[in-house]
Amino acid sequence: MAKTPPAPLKPAKARSTATAGYRKGEETRQRILEVALKAFGDVSYKAATTRRISEAAGVSLPTLQYYFGGKEGLYRACAEAIVDRYRRRTAAAAAKAAEALNEDRAAETARVHLKAVIGALAGFLVGSREAEGWAQFVARELRDPGPAFEILYENLWRPGVSTTARLIARILGVPEGDPAARIRALLLISSALAFQSGRRIVLRTMRWSTIGGDELAMVLSALDAQIDTIGRDHAR
């Protein structure tokens, strides 16, 4: 694997160098991306094949190379697309939380925003059928770091954990960057994620047939309860 990069002959984005017209090309590119998002969500990078993707997208194999430079470029493009969609869905809650962190120092305000942020995350994860695949994509890349790890870490994990940790620190009344607050942030986020990436276990354990609105409500209620205990837990 990972043969020594034999001189990058072509940039990942072989296209879009010139006039940037030609809307038909953009449509095809988009269609391939959508199919790839699904494919890489379903199975691992290695297990997904460019042939299947090109077939499902209704184009020939070299078209993938043409638009994305190769399998790896396509994978990267998928990561960027996921980041993009995630941002659109959670930007509002994150921005409000950041604003509140600057303006209002009250612990209870932070608690409200923390619930909103986690709620937005969970809503994103359960909000669409595709999100399941995206969650798998992200979880897989986190576990087996590949070409998309940095993209996802910088744009998803870092800001997400950072905001969460700051809110928790505020609730706990400890300085920002406090290790205990960061650990709690990780615990909380991984709990939320588990309901999508650990989907199969959840379904079996809860004897659910799907994770939809009702199920999400139960999960959110449990997460909210957990958030409510932050700063109120005094061992014994």
Which residues sit at the interface with a second copy, rule CB under 8 A?
Answer: 1, 43-44, 46-47, 136, 139-140, 142-145, 149, 153, 157-158, 161, 165, 179-180, 182-187, 190-191, 193-195, 197-198, 200-202, 204-206, 218-219, 222-226, 228-229, 232-233, 235-236
Q: Report the nearest approach of a second copy to the CB of residue 142 (Å).
A: 6
User: Counting contacts by CB under 7 A, is residue 44 touching DNA?
Assistant: no
44 binds, among DNA, a second copy, none (CB under 5 to 8 A by kind): a second copy
Task: Give yes or no for a contact between 226 and 111, defined as CB atoms under 8 angstroms apart.
Answer: no
CA dist., res. 125 & res. 133, Å (int): 9
| Closer Cβ to DNA, 5 or 175, answer by number | 5
CA dist., res. 50 & res. 55, Å (int): 8
232 binds, among a second copy, DNA, none (CB under 5 to 8 A by kind): a second copy
Q: Report the nearest approach of a second copy to the CB of residue 21 (Å).
A: 40
225 binds, among DNA, a second copy, none (CB under 5 to 8 A by kind): a second copy
Q: Report the nearest approach of DNA to the CB of residue 44 (Å).
A: 10
Q: Report the nearest approach of DNA to the CB of residue 116 (Å).
A: 40
DSSP for 87-120 reads: HHHHHHHHHHHHHHHHH---HHHHHHHHHHHHHH
Q: What's the DSSP call for residue 141? A: H
Taking phi over 0 as left and psi of -120 to 50 as alpha, with beta for the rest, 231 belongs to left
CA dist., res. 114 & res. 171, Å (int): 9
51 binds, among a second copy, DNA, none (CB under 5 to 8 A by kind): DNA
Q: Which two tokens stand for residue 210?
A: 């799907």
CA dihedral for 35, 40, 46, 48, sign (positive or negative): negative
Task: Give yes or no for a contact between 167 and 113, defined as CB atoms under 8 angstroms apart.
Answer: yes
197 binds, among DNA, a second copy, none (CB under 5 to 8 A by kind): a second copy
Give the interface size with DNA as a residue count (CB under 7 A).
33
| Closer Cβ to DNA, 13 or 115, answer by number | 13
